[in-house]
Amino acid sequence: MPEILSVAWQAGTPLPPASIAAIQRAAATLAGGGLVAVPTETVYGLAAVATDPDAVARIFAAKGRPASNPLIVHVADAEAARALAASWPDTAARCAACHWPGPLTIVLPAAAVVPAIVRAGGDTVALRCPEHPVTASLLRILGRPLAAPSANRSGAISPTTAAHVAASLGNAVDLILDGGSCDRGIESTVLDLTDELPRVLRPGPVSRSAVETALGCRVEGPGGTTPAGRSPGLLPKHYAPKAQLEVVAASTERVGEQLRQGVEVGWLTCGSLDGGPLADSSRSGRLHRIDLPAEADSYARSLYAALHQLDAAGVDCIIVERPPQEEAWQAIHDRLTRASHRE
């Protein structure tokens, strides 16, 4: 297994010397063409120097990632982002001022310095400035941008802890920086600024209405035809556990059906839900129930960890109680829809 370096941090306070030393070691590994798993506020990323095509190729090999799926490039600040974009419109400046550092990725025309492998052969680049203090410090120390998709096998559940990374990638990663559990728990919002109207390509922690407030104009939602290579996270099946996942409105009934067929069931509920007679199945070990929070941000923070837990339990199927339909839950619905896709 790869070496895991624990990086202590506390919001609003300087990183301790031991943590800085661990980050400096990670920077040296990256500068030498290595792969380092890093914590962000969204999920753990598998990082390589974005301007090093050979190092980036190792990301694709480690993940088993299709070459047609582009990577998000993480930068220290807006100035570093501007160096990677062929143009920097006012819309980009406004979004960066309002939502960077943070879980918003901006798609812009790519500068020539961005390797084709990062862009999946397209003409755009996806840029993000993360707010996690460990990765923010790493970017400053390294002084170079990092390509960093989620640190897991392609299509599988994204990792929100260092242990998830180690279980998914093993020795395919050279070093893991353990910065604790990710605060947001799902991937960044991806906003395309290359067309006449801004469009959210992938919903995430930053809502479409929050982007509209920052820009002072209408923003299109997901849908329509997105050019190949424009954004990660758009494959029909993604974020998926090993067991088949179903999202249903009447989960109690569906769980009961599966249990009567002798199936070992994972059950994710939204808030407290009366399981009635299913309690006996839970006590027998055939039902693995996890009650997720009824508030969208907390639900998102817990979702992937719950799916990892059910994967580790070896359940045969996972039934998810359909969450509310409000805008705050849009990103969660997107992840559950892709996780439940049947190929």
Q: Same structural domain for residues 62 and 143?
A: yes
Q: What is the pLDDT of residue 276?
A: 56
Range of the domain at 101: 3-215
120, part of any domain? yes
235, part of any domain? no
Rounded distance between C-alpha atoms, residue 303 and residue 270, angstroms: 10
Domain of residue 171, CATH code: 3.90.870.10
88, part of any domain? yes
Rounded distance between C-alpha atoms, residue 86 and residue 124, angstroms: 9
Q: Same structural domain for residues 97 and 203?
A: yes
Q: Same structural domain for residues 176 and 84?
A: yes
Q: Same structural domain for residues 294 and 205?
A: no
- The DSSP string of 267-330 is EEEES----GGGHHHHHHTSEEEEEE-SSHHHHHHHHHHHHHHHHHHT-SEEEEEPPP-SGGGH
Rounded distance between C-alpha atoms, residue 48 and residue 27, angstroms: 10
Q: Same structural domain for residues 21 and 134?
A: yes
Q: What is the pLDDT of residue 141?
A: 98
Question: Long-range contacts made by residues 210-218, C-beta under 8 angstroms, separation at least 24?
Answer: 210/98, 210/99, 211/95, 211/99, 211/104, 213/98, 214/94, 214/95, 214/97, 214/98, 214/99, 215/91, 215/94, 215/95, 216/94
335, part of any domain? yes
Task: State the CB neighbour count (10 A cutoff) for residue 249.
Answer: 8
Task: Report residues of the chain scoring pLDDT below 70.
Answer: 224-229, 272-285
Rounded distance between C-alpha atoms, residue 127 and residue 146, angstroms: 10
Which of the listed residues 215, 235, 252 is the one where a domain comes to its end?
215
Q: What is the pLDDT of residue 343?
A: 72
Q: What is the pLDDT of residue 250?
A: 87
Give per-residue burial for 261-276: e unless 16+ CB within 10 Å, then b.
eebbbbbbbbeebebe
Q: What is the pLDDT of residue 153?
A: 96
228, part of any domain? no
Q: Same structural domain for residues 199 and 249?
A: no
User: What does the pLDDT look like over 90-122, one tens digit per residue?
Assistant: 999 999 999 999 999 999 999 999 999 999 999
Helices and strands in the chain, H and E counts: 12, 14
42 and 185 Cβ atoms separated by less than 8 Å: yes
Supply the pTM of this predicted model.
Answer: 0.94
Q: Same structural domain for residues 78 and 201?
A: yes
Task: State the CB neighbour count (10 A cutoff) for residue 10.
Answer: 9
Read off the amino acid at residue 67: A
Q: Same structural domain for residues 73 and 143?
A: yes
Number of domains in the chain: 2
Q: Same structural domain for residues 261 and 130?
A: no
Instruction: Give the total residue count for the chain.
Output: 343
41, part of any domain? yes
79 and 62 Cβ atoms separated by less than 8 Å: no
232, part of any domain? no
